[in-house]
Amino acid sequence: MFIVDNYALAVVFCVITMICWGSWGNTQKLAGKSWRYELFYWDYVIGILLFSLISAFTLGSMGEQGRSFLPDLAQADAANLRSAFIGGIVFNAANILLSAAISIAGLSVAFPVGIGLALVLGVLINYFGSAKGDPVLLFSGVALVTVAIILNAIAYGKQAKESKKVSSLGLILSLVAGLLMSFFYRFVAAAMDLEDFVNPAVGKMTPYTAMFIFALGIFVSNFLFNTLIMKKPFVGEPVDYKAYFKGGFNIHLVGILGGLIWGLGNAFNLIAAGKAGAAVSYGLGQGATLVSALWGVFIWKEFKNAPKEANKYLYLMFILFLIGIALIIQAGSN
């Protein structure tokens, strides 16, 4: 299987993760012009599962290093399979709430608040679960990201003064999503041998196998979570599965593309974790908050009518995010 063998390449992979995780929401914005997010989300989940299989039978099965996908899957013990599967369930609960927040509050708010919170808590959880990297630099970077999240929430509050109900719902969903999102990675990382991808411990999984089980957890749990959201949506009328099957090929393709993009980022992040460590790899990947905010502010013009004071908070948020991410990168090299 393909293995990252140096920290510099691991950082490159994490930056690609950051771009992918921060960009998949654009597909929801595109589909949202004519397609409910609950319906979009089914295609998105299918895209994630599809990519996990593609990566497992390509990068995860080629080369002479490590265990290839099928033998690795066969030898994995029940506890590790369960851990990765639970990671998928936790992620799905968080991400479906994040999708709801995007549909209500937009990319430039849902991601910085929700995923920013997930970055802060997730780095702490993953560091104490598998300590690697300079803790002073790592937690300093996390502190700056925390301040950036607060600035983003303030900016959104100033923009949405006349829509307090929607503003509050969008922020609440983002916060709950972020809280849940901070836990999923630890379950997946615990199922892998982060110390040695070349000769992983018996019973542990390679990143490719763990990613497939994780994606399976997302897919299976979606029959519960998304069905509930379809019947009891946060905004709008209930929607049924008939509406999903009435969707055209192109609209389904947009959602699957979103899942493929997120899946690519997830694959690169898990592969990089062997060299960067779970905390640094996860933290850099969740720098997606910066990428998504850039999309929301400059491409989707979500703050087009915001007062100048709100824009000042946004610019300061971007600066703090960049400095915080730089410190997290430096932390992993020490």
What is the per-residue pLDDT across 242-263, written as a single tens digit (0 to 9) for each? 999 999 999 999 999 999 999 9
Is 90 exceeded by the pLDDT of residue 116? no
Residues 79-97 have a mean pLDDT of 97
What is residue 8's predicted lDDT score, i.e. its pLDDT? 94
What is residue 162's predicted lDDT score, i.e. its pLDDT? 43
Domain ranges in the chain?
A: 7-333
What is residue 166's predicted lDDT score, i.e. its pLDDT? 46
Is 60 exceeded by the pLDDT of residue 137? yes
What is residue 226's predicted lDDT score, i.e. its pLDDT? 97
pTM value?
0.90
The closest of 48, 118, 104, 105 to 233, measured between CA atoms, is 104
The CA distance from 267 to 261, in Å, is 10
| Alpha helices for 1-115 (secondary structure H) | 7-23, 25-31, 37-57, 69-75, 78-105, 107-110
Is 90 exceeded by the pLDDT of residue 171? no
Q: Do 119 and 324 contact (CB within 8 A), yes or no?
A: no
What is residue 163's predicted lDDT score, i.e. its pLDDT? 47
What is residue 119's predicted lDDT score, i.e. its pLDDT? 85
Task: Give the residue with greater pLDDT, 109 vs 178.
Answer: 178
**Which phi and psi (to 5°) does residue 205 adopt?**
-115, 155
Task: Show the CA angle centred on residue 24, arms to residues 140 and 122, nearest 5°.
Answer: 30
Is 90 exceeded by the pLDDT of residue 310? no
Confidence of residue 160 (pLDDT cuts 50, 70, 90): low
| DSSP codes joined into one string, 82-140 | HHHHHHHHHHHHHHHHHHHHHHHH-HHHHIIIIIHHHHHHHHHHHHHHS--S-HHHHHH
What is residue 302's predicted lDDT score, i.e. its pLDDT? 78
Supply the mean pLDDT for the chain. 91
Highest mean pLDDT among 82-96, 117-131, 157-171, 301-315: 82-96
What is residue 181's predicted lDDT score, i.e. its pLDDT? 94
The CA distance from 262 to 243, in Å, is 25
Confidence of residue 161 (pLDDT cuts 50, 70, 90): low
Task: Identify any residues that bridge with 192 across adjacent strands, giving them in sequence order.
Answer: 205
What is residue 219's predicted lDDT score, i.e. its pLDDT? 98
**Which phi and psi (to 5°) does residue 229 adopt?**
-65, -35
**Among residues of the chain, what percentage have pLDDT more than 90?**
63
Question: How crowded is residue 142: how many other Cβ atoms within 10 Å of its Cβ?
Answer: 22
What is residue 130's predicted lDDT score, i.e. its pLDDT? 81
Q: Which residue has the tokens 């995923």?
A: 115
Q: How many CA atoms lie within 13 A of 312 on its CB side?
A: 4
What is residue 113's predicted lDDT score, i.e. its pLDDT? 82
Is 80 exceeded by the pLDDT of residue 316? yes
What is residue 165's predicted lDDT score, i.e. its pLDDT? 44
